[in-house]
Amino acid sequence: MQAHYDVAVVGGGTAGIIAAVQAGRAGARTLLVEKTGLLGGTITNAEIANPGLFHAWGRPIIAGIGWELVTAAAAESGTALYDAADWTEHAWRQCVRLNPTIFAAIADAAVLDAGVDLHLHTMAARAADAGDRWTLTFCTKTGLVDTTAAAVIDATADANVVTLAGGPVEVEPAPQTATLNLHMHGADLAQVDLKAVDAAFAAEVAAGRMAWTDVGSSGIGASGLLKRGGRNTMHLRAPDAHTSEGRTAVEVAARAIARRLQRFYRAQRGLENLQITAAVETGIRETVGIRGLATVTAGDYLGGRLWPDAVCYSYWPIDLHLDDPNRWVDVRPLKPHTFPTIPRGAMLPVGMRNLIVPGRAAAGDREARSAFRIQATCMAMGQAAGALAVLAARTRTDADAVPAGDLRDLLTAHGAIVPPQA
């Protein structure tokens, strides 16, 4: 690790990868640290490997580095892209299905080819604004390492760097439920009485040994989970998942559910050989948000507000996953030809200089964050954050004062789509 960087990116998920590649390609000395052993965040560690959405109402709204990596990963695995012209209000049908391992390898190559100094298995331990630079301490496998940076991008998804620096964050008291992505193997459904499976599961729920939310909701049911082959359905509470203690509790609880499910299914006739495997990490939908210079509300998002400092588009319905077996999700689709935007100010914590927060922890109310947390939007925000950090470091100015035209020029030069100025 070097003594000083122009840009330090903390977190190698969907926002952090793109931020680091953008900064590196723009010529900045860039550091990227990631707490796990692979890049990709929810795409790889949580195996929610279906990023979306890059198009809305038949036209591209997010391009640039994120789309480049996604299409490269799809091509390498022979995955067909969706037909953007064949639009549907069911947004999930327009997601690209990726091989998580191949995406991680492509992300590795993109980061290293951009000249980024990559450090896996590394976490931030301290962060402080020293006036003309940030002082940072990272915890590595061999000890603590100090460095400095002109600008910092907090892409942890939990605003961990903002918290370390004493910045303004708001903890969601009742966050959306989390999900451990499951994979089922060895089930021949032609030999299984699905109604009997559902009846057996209902009996287990009534006895208090299982919960409807173990399989997602009473609408999906035990047989529905079988038909899906597992996948992204489990719902469990995830309080304080922005902390190590809270995250530990969620991971242990999720794996306990997976174990209970395997025991249940294997006790059913025809499912004696069923095996359940799972992603490395539980997918966390919501933890904290920053208090930003701007805050995206549900009204802004659903109304397609064009912010005067918009840096990217977003497209996904409001999508709140609930701790309620009778109401699995609260989904509120966008009206046709609505194009929400994300303002620069939503990524800038109040009172913090040259600290930029792309991704789900950007400033928004709960409903808006449930929509702009989606992977493609996080990629677009990450690219905007990377470009903004480079310009702030290069001109020795605050990220809020970087001229909008300069930011637009750098982003478009690297393929991003930037909304028109209001």
Cα angle 108, 111, 117; round to 5: 105
- As assigned by CATH, the class of the 4-173+286-413 domain is alpha beta
As a whole number, the mean pLDDT across the chain is 94
Please enumerate in sequence order all residues whose Cβ is within 8 A of that of 107, keeping only pairs 6 or more positions apart, or say none.
12, 17, 39, 40, 69
Model pTM score: 0.96
Scan for tokens 């469990």, then name that residue.
236
Query: For 161-188, what is each residue's pLDDT tens digit?
Result: 999 999 999 999 889 999 999 999 998 8
| Residue 383 pLDDT | 98
Query: For 354-408, what is each residue's pLDDT tens digit?
Result: 999 999 999 999 999 999 999 999 999 999 999 999 999 999 999 999 999 999 9
Residue 191 pLDDT more than 70? yes
Alpha helix stretches (DSSP H) within 275-337: 298-302
Reading phi first (left if > 0) and then psi (alpha if -120 to 50, else beta), residue 47 is in left
Domain map of the chain by residue range? 4-173+286-413, 182-278
Q: Which amino acid is at 318?
A: I
Over range 308-319, report the average pLDDT. Answer: 96
Residue 328 pLDDT more than 90? no
Distance separating alpha carbons of residues 401 and 421, to the nearest angstrom = 16
Query: For 209-254, what is each residue's pLDDT tens digit?
Result: 999 889 986 678 899 999 988 888 889 999 999 999 999 999 999 9
Contact 204, 394 (CB under 8 A): no
Residue 303 pLDDT more than 60? yes
Query: For 44-54, what is each residue's pLDDT tens digit?
Result: 999 999 998 89
| Residue 398 pLDDT | 96
Distance separating alpha carbons of residues 229 and 306, to the nearest angstrom = 41
Residue 35 pLDDT more than 80? yes
What's the pLDDT band for 129 if we cut at 50, 70, 90?
Answer: very high
| Residue 188 pLDDT | 87
Nearest in space to 388 (alpha carbons), one of 344, 419, 353, 352 = 344
Percentage of the chain modeled with pLDDT above 70: 98
Over range 103-124, report the average pLDDT. Answer: 98
Beta bridge partners of 182: 231, 278
| Residue 220 pLDDT | 81
Query: For 69-98, what is each residue's pLDDT tens digit?
Result: 999 999 999 988 887 777 765 666 778 889
| Residue 96 pLDDT | 87
| Residue 91 pLDDT | 66
Contact 98, 51 (CB under 8 A): yes
Q: In angstroms, what CA-CA distances link 223 with 44, 220, 257, 258, 331?
A: 27, 7, 16, 15, 23
| Residue 90 pLDDT | 63
Using only the alpha carbons of the chain, give its radius of gyration. Answer: 21
